[in-house]
Amino acid sequence: MLNYFQIASSMIRDIGMKPKIALILGSGLGYLTCEFQNSTAVYYSQIPGFPASTVQGHSGRFIFGNFHGIPSVAMEGRFHFYEGHEIRDVVSPIYLFKEMGIERLLITNASGGINKTYSPGEIVAIRDIINLGFRNPLRGPNEEKFGVRFPDMSSVVDLEWLARLRERLCRDGHELKEGTYIWTLGPSYESPSEIKSFEFLGADMVGMSTVPELIAANHCRMKTLALSCVTNMASGILKEKLSHDDVVRTANRIRHRFSDIVGKALEVLKEIDDE
Ligand SMILES: O=P(O)(O)O[C@@H]1C[C@H](O)[C@@H](CO)O1
């Protein structure tokens, strides 16, 4: 296992800043780091033993900088199980962030909409998850320094942060929908019959990431918000075939709205932390 403490300490020392929040940027959503001020990049390949990112729309680097006045670090490129990584490696950034002293995490992703009230380009907050990947990143010996053997999963996101963001957006005349995200292994998209069965299970969105990250973040008690960009309706709902190029294109198309919501999520966080 990587020595997260050693890596985190040397990164913080070399960069000369201690981030307060970490962001994981999903497919096509890496553009948020353009808004970082005084930024420094650290490529995953510069970190000995760290996994490499292989997916189009995921650059494979950390960006450190000031984001909406908060010292932040963002992952441009996450690790997916389907890339061939071990499940523990998929969540290695979460424990690295924890060792940097970070208590807040904002996860983003691209997903397929199962709930027919959603439409492509809509941003939905994840309220709950279904682990259909049947992989758990906590399998194996428990690292007691991070968390307990059997973590409670009754709320995988920080409900106060979510409620405050919802209120804030409502004041501006926008509704923030909340839904359940189901994780499949990928990399093939789902079949129409799979989507019908996921709907029956209670899922609103489907994707190939995020669930392992939420389990690990919950394990080490990081307060997390998760925003999903519904880039397409899930398989079989509309006539169109699914393609990753379209996923990335839609994520890019809604960049202003996405960046506005993320900005407000950080603003409400400052209010919460100041209280
Ligand atoms: O990293 P995310 O979950 O945003 O990426 C989604 C899931 C697959 O990696 C890819 C499929 O288009 O986009």
The larger pLDDT score, comparing residue 30 to residue 122, is at 122
pTM of this structure: 0.96
232 marked among binding-site residues: yes
CA 146 to CA 129: how far, in whole Å? Answer: 21
Within 13 Å of residue 33, how many CA atoms lie on the same side as its CB? Answer: 27
In this predicted complex, what is the ipTM?
Answer: 0.99
CA 42 to CA 62: how far, in whole Å? Answer: 5
Q: Which domain holds residue 184?
A: 4-274
Please give the tally of structural domains in the chain: 1
**223-269 residue pLDDT tens:** 999 999 999 999 999 988 999 999 999 999 999 999 999 999 999 99
pLDDT of residue 196: 97
Place 177 in a pLDDT band, splitting at 50, 70 and 90: very high
CA 208 to CA 185: how far, in whole Å? Answer: 6
Give the CATH number for residue 183.
3.40.50.1580
Run of H or E residues at 168: helix 159-171
Place 50 in a pLDDT band, splitting at 50, 70 and 90: confident
CA 163 to CA 103: how far, in whole Å? Answer: 18
Query: Quick one: 148 exposed, middle or buried, by C-beta within 10 A (0-12, 13-18, 19+)?
Result: exposed
Q: How far apart are the first and last CA of the chain?
A: 38
Between the CA of 236 and the centroid of ligand 1 the distance, in Å, is 18
How far, in Å, are 103, 126, 202 from residue 73 at the CA level?
A: 12, 21, 33
Ligand 1 pocket residue status of 77, Cβ below 6 Å: no
Ligand 1, residues 24, 32, 80: which to mutate, most atoms within 8 A of Cβ? 80
